[in-house]
């Protein structure tokens, strides 16, 4: 497994500084598997998480539950190697195309989006 | 253009009621084009927007800028016909697979994610 930085630390600071962290100091990150196009998860990132993502080539987020910077895979080994990052039209959302090591979901599924919403209306639930 | 509801209004209320609107009463919605897998945009939705999306088969969001319910396409004609909706593992994010009428981005591009983040570090910018 070889992570490839997208840019230098200085460039990462510059790029991250141009984004809009308007959701309580955070922006939205969508993660898509580059090889298949499958959407794996969404999460939030603050400026530091964006800088680290770009300068290391490994997806970093801001954990809203643990209130700290989170390197995806630091505990599970399920790292996400960054291949490409795109910015949306108003700069407050990122689309990261990655190579997923292992699976994205802590429940063991490949993607966090593994339930059809229709399952929520089944009888007895 | 024919929108197809995913479920009845009553079922939509039930499904929407089981989700977690923990970001200021909102959840994150990722929109992907069903036919190509291309990620088109991200937006937020409150409970009403989720209900209307499910019961009409047209993507509705909560506009954080205009502070109101927003039927995507109501002004532009660029409606999003809902094909499938998936829920993430902790119920606070949705993945909607859609058929996009026209384009998703108000700037005229197909997807809102039309800029590579490396463009933000080019000289002179």
Chain B residue with CA closest to A37: the answer is B37
The ipTM estimated for the assembled molecules is 0.95
pLDDT at residue B12, rounded to an integer: 98
The answer on pLDDT for B124 being more than 70 is: no
Confidence (pTM)? 0.96
pLDDT at residue A109, rounded to an integer: 96
pLDDT per position as a tens digit, A30-89:
999 999 999 999 999 999 999 999 999 999 999 999 999 999 999 999 999 999 999 999
Q: Are strands A80-87 and A93-100 parallel, antiparallel or unpaired?
A: antiparallel
Residues of B in contact with A34 (CB under 8 A): none
Residues of B in contact with A84 (CB under 8 A): 116
Residues of A in contact with B42 (CB under 8 A): 28, 30, 42, 88, 93
CA neighbor of A14 nearest in space, from A43, A40, A41, A50: A50
Helices A9-16 and A47-56: crossing angle in degrees, nearest 10, is 140
**Alpha carbon distance A79, B73 (integer Å):** 37
Does the distance separating the beta carbons of A32 and B39 come in below 8 Å? Answer: yes
pLDDT per position as a tens digit, B68-104:
999 999 999 999 999 999 999 999 999 999 999 999 9
Question: Which residues are registered as beta bridge partners of A85?
Answer: A96
pLDDT at residue A5, rounded to an integer: 98
The answer on pLDDT for A95 being more than 90 is: yes
**Alpha carbon distance B85, B10 (integer Å):** 17
User: Which strands form B27-33's sheet, in the order they lie side by side?
Assistant: A115-116, B80-87, B93-100, B27-33, B39-45, B60-63, B68-71
CA neighbor of A12 nearest in space, from A62, A57, A68, A42: A57
Q: Which residues of B20-35 are buried (b: 16+ CB within 10 A; e: fewer)?
A: ebebeebbbbbbbbee
Does the distance separating the beta carbons of B15 and A120 come in below 8 Å? Answer: yes
Residues of B in contact with A54 (CB under 8 A): 117
Residue A95 vs residues A36, A122, B8, B38: alpha-carbon distances, Å: 15, 33, 33, 11
Give A100 to chain B, closest Cα distance, Å: 17
Mean pLDDT of chain A: 96
Query: What end-to-end distance do the CA atoms of chain B give, in Å?
Result: 42
Give B119 to chain A, closest Cα distance, Å: 8
Put simply, whether B25 touches A (Cβ < 8 Å) is: no
- SS3 (DSSP) at B95: strand
């Amino acid at each position: 497994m070889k992570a490839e930085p997208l840019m230098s630390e200085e460039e990462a600071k510059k790029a991250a500084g141009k984004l809009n962290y308007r959701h309580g100091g955070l922006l939205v990150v969508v993660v898509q598997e580059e090889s298949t196009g499958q959407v794996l998860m969404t999460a939030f990132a603050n400026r530091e998480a964006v800088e680290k993502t770009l300068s290391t080539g490994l997806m970093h987020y801001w954990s809203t539950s643990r209130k700290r910077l989170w390197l995806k895979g630091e505990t599970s080994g399920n790292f996400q190697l960054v291949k490409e990052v795109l910015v949306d039209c108003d700069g407050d959302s990122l689309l990261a195309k990655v190579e997923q090591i292992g699976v994205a979901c802590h429940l063991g599924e490949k993607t966090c989006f593994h339930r059809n919403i229709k399952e929520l209306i089944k009888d007895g639930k």
